[in-house]
Structure 1
Amino acid sequence: MSANYILKRIALIFYTLFIVSVLVFGITQILPADAAVMMLGENATQEALEALRQRMGLNDPVWMQYLHWAGGVLQGDFGTSLRTGQPVGPALFSALGTSLTLAGFALIFMLILAMPMGVIAAIRRGKPADLIVGFISYIGVSLPEFVTATLAVMLVADMWGLLPPAGYIPLSQDFWGGLERLILPVVVVSVMMIAHVSRMVRSELVDVMHTDYIRAARLKGLHPRRVLFRHGLRNALLPTITIVALDVGYLLGGVIVVEEIFSIPGIGRSLMSAIQNRDLPVIQAGVMIMAATYSIVNFAADLMYAWLDKRIQYD
């Protein structure tokens, strides 16, 4: 992989973030919310509101407001929350860390289950094991997160009393206590990803195992296990990487329901609260942070492509 390609991809990331910043800033400008009223309250006098608007630059042209906001973002200043009056950056990065902790454990749990399930379904194609994996996958895709989360809380937490129903403890504060409270949300978030990835691994591995180079490897007398894992699975994983990269975006933005049900102070829950309270700086910063994270993950996926398949050359 050439340094020229890496520089191009980094430039593309910045270009993408620029487009996202323009869109999110423009959309938040048309929302029915007055920052001055949000900060001073509806009982504030017109003089006080006008003075605050002048101090915050709200009377400036939109393009000037954008440049001021974007300049602050480039310096790590995401503004001040209209609801709490506190800096947006530290609170959102803390929430992002919580969401990434949940996402990281969910990805690990998903890979531990989905990869073997996909491999077993592929090598036992048409047999009971394949049918069972397929049935589990279809169930996983069909159940939305709020149904899975509600059932998990009702059965595992309330009825059986095996795990806490909700709450979050940072792992740095109490590792085992925090891990205990992450089990249910991690399982719930992983269900749909396990279904997606296991079916993808199964489908790709079946196709790869019928290619000419796999037949040649078998004719050379290589051990079946080596043919499967060294030559078959490695190439079957390429499309799976794309699915996993897309799932990271889903994890960051699509776990709002899970974070609400299990009372996890992640970035999805923070954004939902900001939207409900029309806290524009939090909305803007949250979308930018999620877009940056998603772009970096997709860049990492491209690097993983090149590492798994040496035939891929990026110029």
Structure 2
Amino acid sequence: MTSIPKIISQRVALGVLTLWVVSVIIFAGIQFLPGDVATELLGQSATPETVAAIRKSLGLDLPVYLRYLHWLGETLQGNFGTALASGRDIGELIRPRLFNTLFLAITAAMISVPLALLGGIVAALYRNTLVDRVINVVTLASISFPEFFVAYILILILAVHIGILPSLSDVDSTTSFLDRLTAVALPAFTLAVVVMAHMLRMTRTSIVSLLGNQYIETARLKGLPEWRMLVRHALPNALAPIANVVVLNLAYLITGVVVVEVVFVYPGLGQLIVDSVQKRDVPVVQACSLIFAATYVLLNLTADVLSIIMNPRLMHPK
């Protein structure tokens, strides 16, 4: 039987290869965008001589493969270059935006994961009852609605009619922790509503699939309360698929915040990449896209490793 370190090393190697392929796709996709960066920077009054000078200063006159190798080499050293629109170092530009995005994602995870586990346990406890059907209808509805629709509904209810939360999430480095929590409440709740359904349904399905096992019947015959039997015996054995889905949804929280950040004008990485696309700031777009891709690959790799570690057949080989 293959050892766990060997399997994990294979997953890590596959993750590195995937990230390299993604970097090629990102760079190639940027190159095939319509328009010219030099012309965009100089405006309509650009002359052929100034355009040629700008292209040479940006290295756009070099072959594509040389530009890719230079960009990849600098990126591996942690140097993303300089933003064309502002002239600032891209690392310094991205750092506070990445912190804002991570703060939003972590806040959404702290809301969605406990509610999903609790909702899945309740649905499994009252399976095939009205409570179970109501939870299934709510989760299916939340999956069906896109993020921007959920965001606008929450803005209409909580910001416009009730007025308890701000409709715009304006934060900066001087914002206090409590004010930051208040500012991200609506976008975090929007993300939580969207991702919670997958985790809840997986929790319910995993627990219900174990209820026919003999050790569950034994616990039931001993007179153990149903809720205690679910939490102490069924839930620990269902953690492997649940953890896998939770980590995958956390990956979505990090990489799927673009729409939500744009709706709430939240100064995160998603808003930055949208603004950079509009300004044709190619280095910033490449850096943000690579960070999103690396985060998604890393969390998917984490989900694979967790599913391997939680597999008893691998942890206790014969």
By the TM > 0.5 criterion, same fold? yes
Choose 299-308 or 15-24, whichever is displaced more: 299-308
- Out of 273, 276, 299, the position equivalent to 1:274 is 276
Q: Shift in Å at residue 176 of structure 1?
A: 0.9
- Out of 186, 189, 194, the position equivalent to 1:187 is 189
- The answer on whether the counterparts of 1:200 and 1:240 sit within 8 Å (CA) in structure 2 is yes
> Which residue matches 1:237?
239
Which whole-Å deviations, capped at 9, do the CAs of 1:146-196 have from their partners, x for residues lacking one? Answer: 222112112211222211121232587301111111111111111122222
Instruction: Point out where structure 1 has 5 or more consecutive residues left out of the alignment.
Output: none
Q: Shift in Å at residue 257 of structure 1?
A: 2.4
Q: What TM-score, normalized by structure 2, do the two folds share?
A: 0.89
> Which residue matches 2:62?
60
User: Judging changes above 3 Å, is the alpha-carbon distance between structure 1 residues 308 and 218 closer, same or farther for their aligned structure 2 residues?
Assistant: farther
Residue 311 of structure 1 aligns to a residue whose secondary structure is helix
The whole-number CA distance in structure 2 between the counterparts of 1:281 and 1:197 is 36
> Which residue matches 1:7?
9
> Which residue matches 1:17?
19
> Which residue matches 1:122?
124
Q: Shift in Å at residue 220 of structure 1?
A: 7.0
Opposite residue 248 of structure 2, the aligned amino acid is L
> Which residue matches 2:267?
265
The whole-number CA distance in structure 1 between the counterparts of 2:85 and 2:26 is 19
Match runs of 1:149-228 below 5 Å: 149-170=151-172, 173-218=175-220, 227-228=229-230
Q: Shift in Å at residue 72 of structure 1?
A: 0.8
The whole-number CA distance in structure 2 between the counterparts of 1:221 and 1:303 is 37
- The answer on whether the counterparts of 2:309 and 2:315 sit within 8 Å (CA) in structure 1 is no
- Out of 133, 136, 144, the position equivalent to 1:134 is 136
Q: Shift in Å at residue 314 of structure 1?
A: 11
Instruction: Point out where structure 2 has 5 or more consecutive residues left out of the alignment.
Output: none
- The answer on whether the counterparts of 1:141 and 1:192 sit within 8 Å (CA) in structure 2 is yes
- The answer on whether the counterparts of 1:81 and 1:279 sit within 8 Å (CA) in structure 2 is yes
- The answer on whether the counterparts of 1:167 and 1:263 sit within 8 Å (CA) in structure 2 is yes
The whole-number CA distance in structure 2 between the counterparts of 1:21 and 1:231 is 44
Q: Shift in Å at residue 226 of structure 1?
A: 5.3
The whole-number CA distance in structure 2 between the counterparts of 1:129 and 1:65 is 58
> Which residue matches 2:292?
290
Which whole-Å deviations, capped at 9, do the CAs of 1:129-158 have from their partners, x for residues lacking one? Answer: 212212221221232222221121122112
User: Judging changes above 3 Å, is the alpha-carbon distance between structure 1 residues 311 and 223 closer, same or farther for their aligned structure 2 residues?
Assistant: farther
- The answer on whether the counterparts of 2:255 and 2:296 sit within 8 Å (CA) in structure 1 is no
- The answer on whether the counterparts of 1:38 and 1:82 sit within 8 Å (CA) in structure 2 is no
Q: Shift in Å at residue 28 of structure 1?
A: 1.1
- The answer on whether the counterparts of 1:119 and 1:202 sit within 8 Å (CA) in structure 2 is yes
The whole-number CA distance in structure 1 between the counterparts of 2:47 and 2:195 is 52
Matching of residue 94 in structure 1 with residue 101 in structure 2: no
The whole-number CA distance in structure 2 between the counterparts of 1:38 and 1:135 is 49
CA-based RMSD of the aligned residues comes to: 2.5
Q: Shift in Å at residue 211 of structure 1?
A: 2.4
Percent identity between matched residues is 37
- Out of 20, 41, 44, the position equivalent to 1:42 is 44
The whole-number CA distance in structure 1 between the counterparts of 2:182 and 2:25 is 40
Q: Shift in Å at residue 233 of structure 1?
A: 0.9
User: Judging changes above 3 Å, is the alpha-carbon distance between structure 1 residues 312 and 234 closer, same or farther for their aligned structure 2 residues?
Assistant: farther
Q: Shift in Å at residue 307 of structure 1?
A: 4.7
> Which residue matches 1:145?
147
- The answer on whether the counterparts of 1:242 and 1:301 sit within 8 Å (CA) in structure 2 is yes
Which whole-Å deviations, capped at 9, do the CAs of 1:71-105 have from their partners, x for residues lacking one? Answer: 11111111222222222222223222211111111
Which whole-Å deviations, capped at 9, do the CAs of 1:2-34 have from their partners, x for residues lacking one? Answer: 443443333222211110111111111111232
Residue 109 of structure 2 aligns to a residue whose secondary structure is helix
Q: Shift in Å at residue 313 of structure 1?
A: 4.6
> Which residue matches 1:302?
304
Opposite residue 62 of structure 2, the aligned amino acid is D
- The answer on whether the counterparts of 1:201 and 1:240 sit within 8 Å (CA) in structure 2 is yes
Residue 43 of structure 1 aligns to a residue whose secondary structure is coil
Q: Shift in Å at residue 254 of structure 1?
A: 2.6
The whole-number CA distance in structure 1 between the counterparts of 2:112 and 2:212 is 27
Q: Shift in Å at residue 203 of structure 1?
A: 1.5
